[in-house]
Each structure stands twice: as C-alpha cells, then as structure tokens.
C-alpha cells in the first residue's frame, strides 16, 4: 500500500511539472498575445491578476514608458512569472501577519518592507512607475 501511494504521488508530481517552460517567461514590459495569455491563465489563474496590474500601471506612466530603451535595459528581464510569484508571496505575507496589525496601513507597510528584500527589482519597477505619475 505504501509503495502504491508513493508511486501515485510521484506520478502526480511529474504531471504537474509538465508545464511548458515559456509560461510567464515574457518580459513584463510586453504583452503576450491573447491566445498565450489565456493559456497561462488556464494553467495559473494568477496571470489574470498580473494582467490587471500590468494594465493598471499604464495609468501612471507616459505612453512610451514600456518601450523606452533605458527601461528595457533596467527591467527587461522582469517577467510575468516573476510578477505572479511576487503577487502570490505578497498575499501570503498579508495573510500570515494580518492578525499582528490592527490597521491595514501598518500591515501593508510591514509586508512592503519584507517583500522589497526578496524582490528588489519589482520594488524598483513599481517605485519608478508610481514616482512618474505622468497620466
């Protein structure tokens, strides 16, 4: 019975890791085509939230921000997958520490301080976007 159970879990683990390698590998400065995006969302619904955030960022920057060469050099390696992982980790940290804070502002500030250590490039990216405030 133990052998059968172990084999079962091994098969499940192997099938879950059979995702195509390019899932979320596109730079966050670019949009995947709709077919690719829908495929990503089918595999991990978090990509729908990444898409929403990416669209939201456009409200704070001038039109050519995502095409500028300096930004491509600085943030071109930041991927949709990175943003997905960041969002998941952020949500986990909020849930983990929410009982320690009465006010959401304090909780957010604390989680921001933790997450910027783990994701400094995303922190720089977001700070640059909100610092600009062009639109």
d(CA 108, CA 93): 9
- pLDDT value of residue 3: 44
**Residues of the chain with confidence (pLDDT) below 70:** 1-21, 132-135
- pLDDT value of residue 2: 43
Q: What is the pLDDT of residues 57-70, one digit of tens each?
A: 999 898 899 999 99
What's phi and psi for 35, nearest 5 deg? -65, -45
Q: What is the pTM of this model?
A: 0.78
- pLDDT value of residue 21: 58
Can you give the residue ranges of every domain in the chain? 2-132
Q: What is the pLDDT of residues 101-114, one digit of tens each?
A: 989 999 999 999 99
Q: Are 90 and 40 spatial neighbours (Cβ–Cβ below 8 Å)?
A: no
Q: In sequence order, what DSSP letters do the residues of 38-104 get, joined into one string?
A: HHHHHH-THHHHHHHHHHHHGGGS-TTGGG-HHHHHHHTT-BHHHHHHHHHHHHHHHHHHGGG-SSH
Closest alpha carbon to 114 in 84, 131, 89: 89
């Amino acid at each position: 019975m133990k052998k059968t159970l172990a084999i079962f879990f091994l098969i499940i683990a192997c099938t879950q890791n059979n995702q195509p390698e390019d899932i979320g590998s596109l730079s966050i400065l670019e949009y995947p085509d709709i077919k690719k995006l829908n495929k990503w969302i089918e595999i991990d619904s978090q990509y729908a939230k990444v898409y929403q955030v990416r669209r939201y960022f456009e409200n704070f920057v001038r039109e050519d921000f995502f095409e500028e060469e300096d930004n491509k050099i600085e943030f071109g390696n930041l991927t949709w997958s990175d943003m997905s992982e960041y969002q998941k980790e952020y949500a986990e940290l909020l849930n983990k520490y929410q009982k320690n804070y009465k006010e959401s502002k304090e909780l957010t500030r604390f989680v921001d301080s933790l997450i910027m250590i783990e994701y400094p490039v995303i922190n720089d990216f977001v700070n640059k976007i909100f610092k600009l405030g062009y639109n």
